[in-house]
Structures are given as structure tokens and as C-alpha cells.
Structure 1
Amino acid sequence: MSGPISNVAIVGGGFSGAMLAARLAEAGIGSTLINRSADFGLGVAYSTPFEGHLLNVRSSRMSALADQPDHFVRWLGANAPAYADPDGFAPRKIFGRYVQARLAEVEAAIPGLVERVVGEVAGIEADAVVLSDGRRVAADAVVLTTGNPAPKTASGGSARVLSDPWAPGALEAIGAEDQVLIVGTGLTMVDMLQALEGQGWRGRAQALSRRGLLPRAHADLPDPPEAPTPAMLEGPLSERMKASRVVAEDAGWREMMEGLRPITADLWAKADLATRRGILRHLRPWWDVHRHRIAPRIGVFIDRLLAEGRLSVVAGRVKGITADDAGVRLDWIRRGQAQTPLTGAWLIDCTGPGHAPEANPVTGPLLASGRARLDPLRLGLELDGSGRVLHADGTADPKLFVLGPPARAAFWETIAVPDVRKRIEDVVKALTA
């Protein structure tokens, strides 16, 4: 770097961006926190107003501070005592309040080191971030913490196709008895079904995903981690999977997954391209439903919908989506064979984040100019171990970092608070070095 870092532009004001700004302030570095709305600290995950949307991680692991693991639980005890159980799963909107409180506390204790700016980022220059209204935010370094983008599977311009389920008011037009089609059977689907029932919906939902897998639930009590065996950590992916199944059958699959959790990012970093490709092609769907589990209470909710016949799940691929004023038709195939179309009044796209760095107005120009490059599997921008963006020639950019979900190409696990918390410390260390 040409000189000491004194001001960092943080693009994205959700959990990752807000908590990075707080930690930088505590390290004596100023930052400009840029967000599309004035709801700093929330992002998509914690902006939900629905009380039934719970955290997917126990409260004891949700501290924003790496050196104070009980920070969130203590905050709950003082501010939301009804949810202060360290083994419980607090509402996400309560966690959003915690994040906002943490940022405000640092701003009050160390005034002048965090500036909040509401605006849409249009581009990244060598020494500034340019906003869509022409404003320029001068910066010695930039950190992209843009979170998860909306899904991109379903479109077509019909109001009956809800391509962004998290858009404000997206579900309001769905009637109490309406039949709903859902593409994607992961965590977003679970959230949408909860929100629908919370607004009085009593209809049926038909859900489609490539393998028809549903998220697994946490046990009622925390699961002790089972240490991975050497055979789980080295060798061909198929052999490692066999070894993992042996441990899961003996000690329990939750315990096996808990044992892998602390070393997942390291295993991904050490994996060669062929192994990573195999993980994406064969393992990822199974990994997601076992690793990113739902609270036990939410698991009971999904089981009830299945038992009542209000939720049915099929495995296959989307062939086409057509919609008119009367409803939506979903054509799909399974093993190359066309199936009877699914029909409903609405279709909700729950396929997960539609990451497309090359088409993004912020990262697209960085790729085109050679200041960034895509990883070989096109998961996202290539980064070094500290989160620095790699140029087209492979050199690390000392002034450009990525943090949070967009960093998945480098770290794989980049969405859970414990993982993001560690990445924040790495970025702060790099910026203060």
C-alpha cells in the first residue's frame, strides 16, 4: 500500500458491513458505510418483521465479537430476556436489533469514525466509490459486503411470478386459500411458508427442486462434535464421503457435521479444482440441507405441513414457466422425461442467491478491467486468504476486499455469523497491518 489506511469504504450495510465498520472503529480506522436504505445492520436476513423467522444457529454461537462468545446472550438477557436461552433460537428480527445496537454503541463510544451513507453504488475507482447520483466517496480501501442477491431462476414479467420473495410486500397478494408453486426447497422456501401461514394462508404448496431435499432440523439440545477421522480429510472425495458416512452412522450425522464445522474453510482452501468441482456437482445439495439446519420448532412446522398434505415436494428441473391472469403453469422434467405440469395461483422463486459477478454493475467492470477475476468454477471473485481480490494476473489488490456471502469462492462457508465473524477479523488485521 502507498500509505496507512485511514478511511475504508464499505459497500453494503448488512451484518458483515456494519460489524466490520464497528471493528475498524475499535482499531482506530474510519469507514464510510454505504447502504441502499437507512436500515443499517439488517440486510435481507435480519430485516424480516415476522416473529416466527428464527435464527438457524443457537444464540450461544451468534455473538458479533470473536473474543466475547457470550456477547449476544448477555445482550438478550438485558434487552429481550424472553429469548435469553443460550441453546435457543432467537427471532431474526431480534438479532437485527442486536446488530444495530452494537453498531450504535461503537459509534457513541468512538465518535467520528463511522459515517453512514444511503445510496446505490455505481462503480469502484482506484481511490473512491461512485454512487448512482454522482456522489463520490473517497477511500483508501474498499470492502464489498453486498450480501446475497435475489434469485434469478423465475422471471417473465407476470405479477403472479414472485421472482424476489424478500421484496417488501411480496406475499401480500396471496389469498388465504390460494395454491402456491415454489421453485427451490431450501431455507428460503421454509421462510416463505412460515410467512404465508403467519398472514393467514391455509392453501397448499407444491415445491420443486433438483433433488427434492428439505433442510434438516437441529436436535433439541446442542450436538457434541465428533472429531473427523483421517480418512474424512484426505484422498478422493468418494472415499472421504464413505468415511464420513461411517462416522455419521456411529456417532450421529449432526455430531459428524459439527466436527467438520471448524475446519470446513480450510478443507475447501486445500481442495484442488477437481475436488471442488465434485463437491459442487455431487455433494453440495446434501451438504446444504445437513449443514444449514433449521430450528427444531421450524422442523415441526414443516413436518406438520407435509402430514396435512399442504406441502408436497418433487424432484426435477424447471423446463418452463408460463403465467396469465388466471395463474401459473410450471413445466418440469425428471431424468429427461416431461412430467405432468404443476399449476397454481402463484409461483415463488426460492432457488437461493443469484450470484452473477460478471453481470453485476459493481463487479462486472472490475472483471472487465482486469482488477478482478472469476474463480474457475464461476462461484465468485477469486480472493487470497485475507479476502483481497485477485487481479487478472493473480496478484492481490491491497485496496479491494470481499467479505460475507460474495466471498464463497474462496471460503465456501461465508454466510453463518461464526464464519463471517472470523473473516471480519482477518480483514481488519489486513487493513491494519
Structure 2
Amino acid sequence: MDGKIQRVTIIGGGFSGAMLAARLAEGGIASTLIDRGGDFGLGVAYATPFDGHLLNVRSNRMTAVEGRPDDFVSWLTQHHPDHAAPEGFAPRRLYGLYVQDRLAAVDAACPGLISRVLGEAEAIDGAAVRLADGRVVEGDAVVLATGNPTPKAASSGEVEGRVIGDPWAPGALDRIGPQDDVIVVGTGLTMVDMVLWLEARGWRGKAKTLSRRGLTPRGHEARPDAAIAPTDVLLKAAPSQRLHEARRLSGDANWRGMMEGLRPITAELWQAADTRTRARLVRHLRPWWDVHRHRIADGIAAALAALQAGGRMTVTAGRVSRIEQDADGVSLSFKPRSGPAQPPLTARWLIDCTGPGHDPAKDPLTGPLLASGRARLDALRLGLDLDAQGRVLDADGATDPRLLVLGPPARAAFWETIAVPDIRKRIEDMAKTLGGETAA
């Protein structure tokens, strides 16, 4: 068809998809939200029922609407005043309710512009999406906003026995007894969520955690840190000099302020970097970047420190060699990052917290796009190759105006694309792009 894009099909009804639908409706563009779970606006992160799962960003930076910085805090003040501290870290459950409220409010104000479809997207053909039950959703453009995929161990199917492959699956932790020891593979944000959730459920066992480098998320300070303006060396020098400068700035002031100074321009720095520089960042710096950049609330950091001080949580650096299990428990053999060999870790259960299993080539939606040449992987094979507006590039590098990517699946193009402040900016840019796009 010719003419402006009038309806967008959005695959994924979590934060990214729902808030894009709301923003498009405010601009007069209709959309169809497809979600297989039906909890539109929540996704995995905000569907948690546990109020101990807190936001990792202060409330005054968590508005869902670009240009309205007080939106979330105002909503908290009206609906949940006990959690309305602007510099506090509200429960993620409440943030999910806020997102759903915004979606509902825009839906009411813009009748007929937001449609919701419960179903699982199975294939993309042009700008049409076929669902698993055979239905076809038509539109002028498609946006992939599918969030993070399931963990690596669970991505090929259900993991049975004493290995809990997807800790976010309903009832996944129910089998763990109050005194059961657990092995946790992965020491990032998912590990933090699972250990604290177990603790709140009355669990008093031990957590033996393992990751390749043994790094855990750093905590925020009780008060916000002022951003330190990046120097020219930090922005323009060779990678090794940049790292030296980051360490110098951190020593002269504080590392949190240095990270805050980089936050608004991280995507631009990533896009400006050549492939060799990106590869070095991914290979050598990313684990340290992640634990310093994606920090946890100060109270949660203190709770983890208390578990470690009390001997109930250990952190080991090493690579998994073998996992064995029987009716009584599980054993994990590993190669230490340094030092002599160590005995296997043993426990009643193993929880996989290694993070999302990003592999577009194996994904049922994006795999066929890659095979047909409609899409291609980026040079580092981190994800789909996109232009600066989030539009998919085909095998020849041409832009596809009818196929776009938003949120975590767009990480290859933007690097930082999982936190609300970053996705919020992408939503604003994408709404403008779609508003000015002409359907082929």
C-alpha cells in the first residue's frame, strides 16, 4: 500500500511494547499489541508479586513519558504514598501497575487506536504477523518488542530434575525447602532477585553462587551521586587510554558519578565505535561495565552483604565444567578462574541465573528472517543489525521501513537498551520515525 503508516503491529506487550503503543496513539497512529501472557504492560520484570523486588533506578528517573519527569512519582503520591520518595527505589510490582494505568488512560483518551491480542506470534510475512493458532494480524509495520528471552539453559526446552532452568517460571522456586542449599549459576541481577525472594519466603539454607568472574552488582549510595562530566580523553582517546582515564576520574571523585556522566551518551558512544573497539569492549570490559552501570538499591546491597558476612552466601569465580544430579541433589564441577582446582559445589538444587539466551538465529520469529535475508546479524553477532532508528537492515544492508526492533532485542545497535530511561528515549525516537514513515 502507499501512504503513511496507519497501524503498527507490536509483538510483545511488556513495558517497551505497551508504552510504544501509548505513544503512537497519542500521535494518532493505531497499533495492535500482541502478547502471549495477556498481562499487557508488565513483562517479566514488573510481573513479580514480591515487593522486595525493587527498581534498580530511583523513582524520579522512572517516568514512562519523555518530557514528564515527575509522572511516576506523582502517580505514586496519588496511589501509593508510602513509596513516593522521589529518590527511593519503589517495588517493581507498583511500577507495573503504573505502566498499566498509563496504557489504560491513553486507551480511554484515544479510543480505537490501541488493540490488544492474546496470542503467540509465530511468523512475520511482510507487515503481517501469523499467530500460533492460525490468526493473522495485519498492519503497515511490525515492531519486535519481545523483551529478554528465557535463560540459556531453558531456551531449548523444559529442564527437569534438580536444575531450575527458568527461575521466573510460575512456581519455579516452590520445590526448594526452607533448609535446602542451592547452587546459583550467574551472579548478576537475576541471582540477586532469586536469593532475596527465597529469603523472604522463609528459606534459611546456603546459596553457593558461581560466575566466570565472580562479579556481583554494585549498590547505589543512599543519596544520588552528581554526574561527573566526561573529559575529552574519556570520550575520544584510544580504548586503553579511556579506561585509564575512567579509573583516574573514579579515584579523583567517585566511580558512580563517572558512570552517571556517561549514561546519557552511552548509546552514541557505542554507535560511534568501530567493530574492533566494540569487540574489545564486549570481550574485556562488559562484565565490569554491567555490575557498575546496572546497580541495585542500597538496601538490597546491604542485605546481600549480610548474607555473605553470615556465611549463607558465597561467590566463586570459575567456569562450569559439568553438572550432575540425582534424587538427592546436584553437583557442579568447575574450573576456577585462578588458583588450584577446587571440589565440586553441591546442593539440593541448582538455579540457572546466567541471563537471557540471546540467539536470533534460533529464535522462531527472527530465525526465518535471517535465513531469508530480510534481516542480518551485526558484526559481533550480538543481535539483529539495525539502523540508528531501530529499523532492521537486510542482508545487503538496506533499511526495512516495515520492520523495527525495540528494547532488549535491539542491544546490538544501542548497547544500553534494557533500562526504562534508555527505552523511553528509543520509544520517542521510534514514534517519530513511524509517524514520518511511508508504508511500502
Question: Equivalents in 1 of 2:123, 2:103: separation in Å?
Answer: 26
Matches within 5 A, 1:367-386: 367-386=370-389
What does residue 407 of structure 2 align with? 404
Match of 1:237 in 2: 239
Deviation at 1:8, TM superposition (A): 0.5
Amino acid at match of 2:385: E
Which letter does structure 2 place at the counterpart of 1:428? Answer: A
Matches within 5 A, 1:29-108: 29-108=29-108
AA aligned to 1:210 is R
Counterpart of 1:269, as a letter, is: Q
Deviation at 1:325, TM superposition (A): 1.2
Q: State which drifts further: 229-238 or 300-309.
A: 229-238
Q: Alpha-carbon deviation of 1:234?
A: 1.5
Provide Cα deviations, 1:384-426, integer angstroms capped at 9, x if missing partner.
0000000000011000000000000000000010000000011
Deviation at 1:239, TM superposition (A): 1.0
Cα distance in 1 for partners of 2:22, 2:325 equals: 46
| SS of residue paired to 2:386 | coil
Query: What is residue 348 of structure 1 aligned with on the other side?
Result: 351
Which shows bigger deviation, 398-407 or 334-343?
334-343
Q: Summarize the alignment of residues 127-166 of structure 1 with structure 2, pairs less than 5 Å apart.
A: 127-153=127-153, 157-166=159-168
Counterparts of 1:301-340 in structure 2, within 5 Å, are 301-335=303-337, 338-340=341-343
SS in 1 for 2:361: helix
**1:2: Cα distance to partner?**
3.4
Q: Work out the CA distance in 2 between the residues paired with 1:127 and 1:119.
A: 17
What's the offset of the Cα at 1:157?
Answer: 3.7
Cα separation, 2, equivalents of 1:431 and 1:11: 16
Contact 1:158 1:323 (8 Å CA) reproduced: no
231-240 vs 392-401, which moves further? 231-240
Contact 2:42 2:100 in 1 (8 A): yes
Deviation, 1:324, is: 1.6
- Determine if contact 1:158/1:324 at 8 Å carries over to the other structure: no
What is the TM-score of this pair, normalised by structure 1? Answer: 0.98
Normalised TM-score (structure 2): 0.97
Unaligned runs of 5+ in 1: none
Query: Of 260, 263, 266, which residue of structure 2 is paired with 1:261?
Result: 263
Matched with 1:181 is 183
Shift of 1:335: 4.5
CA contact under 8 A between 2:153 and 2:159: conserved in structure 1?
Answer: no
Superposed displacement of residue 127, structure 1:
2.9
8 Å contact 2:20–2:427 — kept in the other structure? Answer: yes
Is 1:392 aligned to 2:395, yes or no? yes
Are the equivalent residues in 1 in contact too, given 2:22–2:103 (CA < 8 A)?
yes
The CA deviation at 1:160 is 1.0
Per the alignment, in what secondary structure is the counterpart of residue 359 of structure 1? coil
Deviation of residue 235 (structure 1)? 2.4
Is the contact between residue 150 and residue 356 of structure 2 (CA under 8 Å) also seen in structure 1? yes
Give 1:222 deviation, angstroms: 0.7
Does the residue aligned with 2:117 lie in a helix, a strand or coil? strand
Within 1, Cα distance between the matches of 2:263 and 2:9?
Answer: 31
Query: What residue number does 2:22 align with?
Result: 22
Three-state SS of the structure 2 residue aligned to 1:331 is strand
SS in 2 for 1:316: strand
* 1:286 alignment partner AA: W
Contact 2:383 2:409 in 1 (8 A): yes
Q: State the one-letter code of the partner of 1:370.
A: G
Residue 257 of structure 1: how far off its partner (Å): 0.4
- Paired position in structure 2 for 1:364: 367
Distance in 2 between the 1:236 and 1:206 partners?
Answer: 39
User: SS state of the match for residue 75, structure 1?
Assistant: helix
Cα pair distance change 1:73/1:340, threshold 3 Å: same
Question: Across the two proteins, how many residue pairs are aligned to each other?
Answer: 433
Say if 2:159 and 2:165, in contact at 8 Å, map to a contact too: no
Structure 2, unmatched stretches of 5+, are none
Compute the displacement of 1:67 (Å).
Answer: 1.0
Amino acid at match of 1:82: D
Q: How far apart in 2 are the matches of 1:333 and 1:3? A: 59
1:169 aligns with 2:171: yes
Distance, in Å, in 1 between the alignment partners of 2:280 and 2:126 is 37
Note the 1:5-20 alignment, pairs <5 A.
5-20=5-20
Q: What is the root-mean-square deviation of aligned Cα atoms in Å?
A: 1.2
Say if 1:147 and 1:405, in contact at 8 Å, map to a contact too.
yes
CA distance in 2, matches of 1:397, 1:117: 24
What SS class does the counterpart of residue 313 from structure 1 fall into? strand
Separation in structure 2 between the aligned mates of residue 335 and residue 185 of structure 1, nearest angstrom: 14
Query: In the alignment, residue 349 of structure 1 is paired with which amino acid?
Result: D
CA–CA separation in structure 2 for the residues paired with 1:284 and 1:261 = 15
Q: CA deviation at 1:19?
A: 0.2
**Cα distance, 1:354 vs. partner?**
0.8
Q: Distance in 2 between the 1:230 and 1:340 partners?
A: 48
**Cα distance in structure 2, aligned partners of 1:114 and 1:159:** 42
Q: Within 2, Cα distance between the matches of 1:15 and 1:214?
A: 26
The answer to whether the aligner puts 1:219 opposite 2:228 as a matched pair is: no
* AA aligned opposite 1:369: S
* One-letter amino acid of the structure 2 residue matched with residue 125 of structure 1: D
Displacement of 1:374: 0.4
Q: Structure 1 pair 335/295, CA: closer, same or farther in 2 (3 Å)?
A: closer
**Distance of 1:424 and 1:2 partners within structure 2:** 24
**Aligned amino acid, residue 411 of structure 2:** R
Q: Structure 1's 253 and 13: CA in aligned 2 closer, same or farther, altered over 3 A?
A: same
Which residue in 2 is equivalent to 1:207? Answer: 209
Q: What is the CA–CA distance in structure 2 between the aligned matches of 1:321 and 1:397, rounded to whole Å?
A: 44
Q: Residues 391 and 404 of structure 2 are in contact (CA less than 8 Å); yes or no, is this contact kept in structure 1?
A: yes
Q: Is the 8 A contact 1:315 1:334 kept in 2?
A: yes
Farther-moved stretch of structure 1 (321-330 vs 67-76): 321-330
Indicate the residue corresponding to 1:426 in structure 2. 429
Contact 2:317 2:337 in 1 (8 A): no
Checking the alignment, whether the CA contact within 8 Å between 1:13 and 1:40 is kept in structure 2 is yes
Which residue identity lines up with residue 144 of structure 1 in the other structure?
L
Write the letter of the residue equivalent to 1:98: Y
